Amino acid sequence: MINVASPVIGKKERQLIKEVLDSRILASGEYVLQFEQSFARYSGVDFGIASANGTAALHTALLMCGVKQGDKVATTSFSFIATSNSILFCGAKPVFVDIDPKTFNIDPAELEKVLKKKKNIKAVLIVHLYGLSCDMDAILKLKKKYKFKLIEDSCQAHGAEFNNKKVGSFGDATAFSFYATKNMMTGEGGIILTNDAKADIYGRQLINHGREGHSTHTVLGYNYRLTNLAAAIGIAQLEQLESWIKKRTTYAENYNEAFKDLDFLQTPYIPKNCRHVFHQYTVRIPALEREKFIKYLADNGVGSGIYYDTVLYKQPLYKQLGYKSGLCVEAEKAACEVLSLPVHPSLSKTDTDKIIKVIKGYKNEYTNCRNRSRIFGTAPRKNFGTAQ
Ligand SMILES: *Cc1c(COP(=O)(O)O)cnc(C)c1O
């Protein structure tokens, strides 16, 4: 079976891990500092604070932006649960915004509607989903007009760019994840980036029990530190990141070309001013067809994944908090139609050729079916967006 995700682990990772073990400094240490600086520099941001995972990074980033009990934070309705949970950790209330059906990212026009209607939005937490930057021109315009704090959830978008600028360099604070299946990993791990020196100092306190100096604790902090062992892996991984992104992009471009005429499948849209890093290669399949297609892929040795099969506010936890279905129409449709195919750098050309062949083989089955409307069901073509 060709898996939908698989980390690459090279010689350098093993060598640096051995160095850390030999040094006997396993918790915070020199490798953490080096990793923070390298990753911040790579992203074009002044400061980096390594953290235990991406979720801790999100929580810390929100606190660094002053989000507190009772505040409202606008965010996308279509992401991993950690995005909106981090808002709840602060005692704040997520205000869910619909997505642009072409990019799967927060729709700036919908965001403005929310900002107009609810005057007291303290912060906006955007997500660069699947490795594609949000529309930063539109979002920064809104930031100027409505004066909110901007936090970027860049957990899927290491190295992604908007107008030749890396994600993570736009917001007041940004969170990245180095979970095992992300574009680069440290097993578990994360980092918060900011250009604000004061926020950096506060963030460092937050991830380290609120410590100031040696043994004084002035704020309520957490143990969100990254280990030296994890940072060593991160240093080695960062050196490979660009070559892996190139591989992902090549595979994605090959898929786009191979699938462009398949009428049961909509390939990802890539805006001209964006560098998509393809954390996921996500297509749309008509809702009524998806289960059958997944089974067909699996029967032919191709793994796939649904990210995500429900919008955030329809998760049981959020239903208990009083959120109702039907709030964000495009996000709910996307949840029924998305499917991610293997695009990671451990794949060989033989693997991706096989994936293309298998998927093109499905077209025949589909074309032979006499009743198309039954297959497409209620998902109208226009929801597939327009391919560029
Ligand atoms: C992975 C991910 C997170 C959480 O990161 P962890 O390191 O798993 O805590 C948050 N948001 C998004 C969009 C993610 O993909």
What are the pLDDT digits (tens) for 201-243?
999 999 999 999 888 999 999 999 999 999 999 999 999 999 9
Ligand 1 pocket member 80 (CB < 6 A) = yes
pLDDT digits (tens, 9 = 90+) for 22-75: 999 999 999 999 999 999 999 999 999 999 999 999 999 999 999 999 999 999
Sign of the CA dihedral 231, 234, 235, 236? Answer: positive
Q: What is the reported pLDDT for 118? A: 85
Question: Looking at ligand 1, which atom is closest to the CA of residue 127?
Answer: 13
Mean pLDDT confidence for 102-131: 97
Closest CA to ligand 1's atom 14 = 155
Residues with Cβ within 8 Å of residue 335, at least 6 apart in sequence: 78, 308, 309, 310, 311
Q: How far is the CA of 158 from the centre of ligand 1 (A)?
A: 12
- Closest-CA residue to 346 (of 231, 276, 251, 259): 251
Q: How far is the CA of 55 from the centre of ligand 1 (A)?
A: 6
Ligand 1 centre and the CA of 82: distance in Å? 6
| Residue 117 · residue 84 · CB < 8 Å | no
How many other C-beta atoms can be found within 10 angstroms of the C-beta atom of residue 91?
A: 11
| Residue 194: how many other CB atoms lie within 10 Å | 26
The pLDDT value given to residue 220: 96
Which of 328, 258, 284, 237 has its CA nearest to residue 130? 284
> 162, 295, 233: which is closest to 8 by C-alpha?
233
Is 277:130 a contact under the CB 8 Å cutoff? no
Question: Does residue 159 line the site of ligand 1, with CB under 6 A?
Answer: no
- Tell me how far apart the alpha carbons of residues 5 and 156 are, in angstroms, rounded to a whole number: 13
Q: What is the Å distance from ligand 1's center to 58 Cα?
A: 9
With a pLDDT cut of 70, the percent of the chain lying above it is 93
pLDDT at residue 368 tops 60: no
Angstrom distance (rounded) from CA 331 to CA 349: 33
CB contact at 8 A, 50 and 232: no
Residues 285, 264: Cα–Cα separation, whole Å: 6
